[in-house]
Amino acid sequence: MTRQARASAAAEMPGCLGEGQESGVLGDGQVGRAHGAALGGHQRLLGPFDVQAEPGVRRHLHAATLPTLEMSKAWNLYKGFDNSGGMHEQTSVSDDLRGKTVLLTGATQGMGRHLARLLAARGATLLLHGRDRERLAAVADEVRQSAPDAPVRTYAADLADLEQVRTLADAVLAAEPRLDVLVNNAAVGGGSAPNVRETSSQGHELRFAVNHLAPYVLTRRLLPLLAASAPSRVVNVASMGQAPIDFDNVMLEHDYEGVHAYCRSKLALIMASFDLAAEVAQHKVTANVLHPAHLMDTYMLQQSGFTPAASLDDGAQPTLRLIVDPKAEGITGRYFDRFDDRPAHPQAYDAQARARLAALTTELTASFTA
């Protein structure tokens, strides 16, 4: 599908703006209209996470600053934005991770693969997840060569099958004495055939299953180990692309479009992250979620027909900060657009919507989390 055709399809999806860390698709900007109202209900659970921009640094474009735009105008704004370094509010994240264990999903390509090398360079014990065993072994060898002293272990699972997600979690619980950070990075993008609805092994819409239900099950089953290793962190990789969930059509059994499904699944992940943060704070486990970079150079972005505007490192650095930065200690229940604490889609702060999503998620995953 051409970029123009993809743009035309995305422009028909109300409320989905931005690009995912994998799919890289811009939406129509309608999310921006309600951000102001959402700010009033945005709970700052703990202390400020201050980041000072370097002199002369341009603030990066965010959904809350955009009026409602048709897709072509949004694309032109992004195309003209200087992403060569102007949006990089860099902080020092060179801290030693020796003695810390990090589980990273989706480690065989894209940002996950790059992030694995950055974590290994800091001495972390790495638990790398991937779906393809051969690619997973290749990445593990690559990481070991780049950081010979960093322990690396691998766990294979298809996140489109919640039974395999449960098996993955149980394998980690059986083999690992501690878990300091869980990074839910793996995702399914909009797809190369966006009008073809796909389902998971359990029959759920594929993007909702992989991008929301799978990290939910994995996190829930690993909570005892995270709590025992506290202070510990859960970092969920979401997207600026967020669309409200229609609870009468959660699985998009009608009016299906892949990018729209992706945007809804990422908002579901954000909503669940906020609930998790409130639930586990007493155990000294934090949970934050972020949009790592705009138009990051990933396979799924290229598959969607867009020209990359950010490197893998542009996305890895904000993610790395939430993993390792001492200033993030105790910060929880936040959505970050790269380095900035920003409001997510207004539905993320709708208590009734969050409760409905939580009830549905519990129902769909109960046999895998018990």
* Catalytic residue chosen out of the listed positions 78, 262, 335, 349: 262
pLDDT single digits (tens) 226-277 = 999 999 999 999 999 999 999 999 999 999 999 999 999 999 999 999 999 9
* Poorest-pLDDT segment among 38-42, 179-183, 199-203, 348-352: 38-42
Mean pLDDT of 80-90: 35
Euclidean distance between CA atoms 324 and 330, whole angstroms: 12
Distance of CA 218 to the CA centre of its chain: 14
Which one is predicted more confidently, 99 or 192? 99
> What residue spans define the domains of the chain?
3-30+94-369
Distance of CA 63 to the CA centre of its chain: 17
Mean pLDDT of 211-239: 98
Helix (H, G, I), strand (E, B) or coil at 139: helix
Concatenate the DSSP letters of all residues of 36-68 into one string. Answer: HHHHHT----SS----PPPTTPPPPP-GGG--S
pLDDT recorded at residue 293: 85
pLDDT single digits (tens) 7-23 = 433 433 334 543 333 33
**Domain 3-30+94-369 classification at class level:** alpha beta
Euclidean distance between CA atoms 202 and 251, whole angstroms: 12
Residue type, 18: G
pLDDT single digits (tens) 122-181 = 999 999 999 999 999 999 999 999 999 999 999 999 999 999 999 999 999 999 999 999
Task: Tell me if residue 155 is catalytic.
Answer: no
Instruction: Give the dihedral of Cα atoms 183, 14, 38, 65; nearest 10 deg.
Output: 90
pLDDT recorded at residue 95: 74
Q: Which of 315, 222, 340, 240 is nearest to 27 (CA)?
A: 240
Q: What is the mean pLDDT of the chain?
A: 79
pLDDT recorded at residue 298: 72
Confidence of residue 302 (pLDDT cuts 50, 70, 90): low
